[in-house]
Amino acid sequence: MSAKRIAFQTFGCKLNFAETSTIARQFREDGYEVVKYRDEADIYVINSCVVTGNAEKKCRSAIRQAKRRNPGAIIAVVGCLSQIKEDELAKMEEVDILAGNEEKFRLAELLNKNPEPGACFRQVGDINKSEAFTPSWSSGYRTRSFLKIQDGCDYFCTYCTIPFARGRSRSATIADTIRTAKEIAASDIREIVLSGVNIGDYGKQHDESFYKLIQELDKVDGIDRIRISSIEPDLLDEEMISFVANSEKFLPHFHIPLQSGSDKILKSMKRKYKREVFAKRVNEIREHMPKACIAADVIIGFPGETEEDFRETYDFLNRMDISYMHVFTYSERPGTKATGLNGKITNAVKKERSRRLHELSDTKKAAFYKQNIGTTAFVLFESDNSGGFMHGFTGNYLKVKTPYKKELVNEIIPVQLERQDEEGVFIMNNE
């Protein structure tokens, strides 16, 4: 009898991708054939996202598409959307299994319970009571792995549903995290990206810290490069920044959520800092690493955001020596405190503010690339082959492309940054 075919579709953050990859490895070890989501499969698994209304819409669409592809397949929906909207999803006739964020790691076991056709089998626990942490890492790329070091969040910002979907902040011990990092090192992956919901909060239940973790990760043999993903400005400090600046493994690349350049809006969002804290972190990074990449997250259209508040955000970001921004349009999420706030912003105003910040981000990014012209940087090339080109990134996250050569995959090559294509991507001659 041929092996059962299982396909995975992942939405949302890099944490979800790390978890999907770990679950897929479990199924491979159990003898399943993992196929692409667009192929016909016996089982389709949707690892869902609930961070925005659009993400939720995409998840529901993927559920319906899978059932149309193979009406006889089992459809399992796992993760954040299952955790938040269990009852709604259970009413969808296409859904056979629902598993929450803790239960999704037992999916193989749940499938063995042989769910009855036409009935939705649910396994969604109270995530707020969970103390479990399941280490995960992605292996879909040959060159880079997203390592889950932390889960959950204790911040409860007024716009965010993630604490309700992911539970309280928790992590493995440093010793356990190092063991997982060594597994990655043994797989020939050259770069690790430290991922989580709120990674700066790492280790507090074990009387450990994120700073202690990065000191230990720096000693792991077999990993050439380590990136820190999004970290809150109030949980980053100059000691960590100095450590990264002096490390041969940790890369000069920071992703710091700002969300608003207006202290009034930050207070309404229940963020843990004022904008001066963000400015201080940017200045400290620049002092230690002048060519570092610094990305910022910004939300526009939050309830009560006046034109003056938006102008404060725009002017503040314009003054900051950052590399680019991820601009998000506020999306009302049921169950969050922001839904009860006055001063809702119209879609037309949101669209215009988004456009203005995207333009500013493009200007910042072009200037950042221009600052690096004439320098030599080390690029880790990936296995993609798009239009005859392969791509890679420098330590400070500048994108570089070169004509595809198989022998360059997963190699770290010094590149003179001179020429750029029409989109600003650096071009390395492949002679």
CATH number for position 143? 3.30.750.210
What mean pLDDT is reported for the chain?
94
Residue 246 lies in a domain: no
Is residue 289 in a domain? yes
Residues 153 and 109 in one domain: no
- Shared domain for 58 and 146, answered yes or no, is no
* Same domain? 151 vs 63: no
Handedness of CA 235, 236, 237, 242 (dihedral sign): positive
Q: Are residues 110 and 187 in the same domain?
A: no
CA 234, CA 255: separation in Å to the nearest integer?
13
- Residue 254: CB atoms within 10 Å: 28
Q: What is the pTM of this model?
A: 0.93
Q: Which domain holds residue 296?
A: 251-371
Say yes or no: 401 and 390 in one domain: yes
Tokens of 386: 């798009």
Looking at the structure, do residues 113 and 146 belong to the same domain, yes or no? no
Q: Is residue 394 part of a domain?
A: yes
Whether residue 237 lies inside any domain: the answer is no
* Residue 404 and residue 311 share a domain: no
Residues 212 and 269 both lie in one domain = no
Is residue 10 predicted with pLDDT exceeding 80?
yes
412 phi and psi angles, rounded to 5 deg: -105, 115
Q: Which pair of tokens denotes residue 83?
A: 């955790």
Residue 259 lies in a domain: yes
Nearest Cα residue to 354 out of 313, 308, 295, 304: 313
What is the total residue count of the chain? 431
Give the orientation angle of helix 238-246 with respect to helix 210-217, to 10 degrees.
Answer: 10
* Residue 245 placed within a domain: no
Both structure tokens of 286: 């620049």
Residue 2 has pLDDT above 70, yes or no: no
CA–CA gap between residue 271 and residue 387 (Å, rounded) = 43
Q: Pairing between strand 170-171 and 150-151? A: antiparallel
Domain end position, chosen among 125, 154, 178: 125
How does strand 389-394 pair with strand 376-381?
antiparallel
Count CB-CB contacts under 10 A for residue 318.
Answer: 13
Domain boundary, last residue among 125, 158, 187: 125
**Percentage, residues of the chain above pLDDT 90:** 90
Residue identified by tokens 């000069």 is 252
The encoded tokens of residue 26 equal 């479990």
SS3 for 159?
coil
Do 156 and 57 belong together in one domain?
no
| Residues 298 and 367 placed together within one structural domain of the fold | yes
- pLDDT score of 430: 61
**Are 120 and 141 members of one domain?**
no
Give the chain's domain count. Answer: 4
What's 10's domain CATH number? Answer: 3.40.50.12160
Helix (H), strand (E), coil (C) string for 57-102: HHHHHHHHHHHHHCCCCEEEEEEHHHHHCHHHHHCCCCCCEEECCC
Q: Is the pLDDT of residue 1 over 60?
A: no
Give the integer Cα–Cα distance in Å for 358 and 345.
Answer: 18
Closest alpha carbon to 212 in 238, 240, 231: 240
Question: What average pLDDT does range 251-279 have in this prediction?
Answer: 98
> At residue 120, does pLDDT exceed 90?
no
Q: How confident is the model at residue 373 (pLDDT cuts 50, 70, 90)?
A: very high
Average confidence (pLDDT) over 40-50: 95
- Average of per-residue pLDDT across 6-18: 94
pLDDT band at 232 (very low <50, low <70, confident <90, very high): very high
Confirm if 225 and 251 have CB atoms less than 8 A apart: yes
In a domain, 24, yes or no: yes
Neighbours of 158 (CB within 10 A): 18
For range 197-213, the mean pLDDT? 96
Same domain? 114 vs 145: no
DSSP 307-342: HHHHHHHHHHHHHS--SEEEEEE----TTSGGGG-S
With the CA atoms of 291, 321, 145 and 385 taken in that order, what torsion angle do they form, in degrees rounded to the nearest 10?
A: -80
- The confidence score (pLDDT) of residue 429 equals 78
CATH of the domain at 273: 3.30.750.200
Q: What is the pLDDT of residue 53?
A: 85
| Structural domain contains residue 401 | yes
**pLDDT of 415 strictly over 80:** yes
Closest by Cα among 323, 254, 325 to 288: 254
Domain boundary among the residues 109, 125, 141 is at 125
Residue 45 CA to residue 219 CA, distance in Å, equals: 37
Per-residue pLDDT at 377 exceeds 90: yes
pLDDT at residue 387, rounded to an integer: 87
Distance in angstroms (rounded) separating the CA atoms of residues 76 and 392: 34
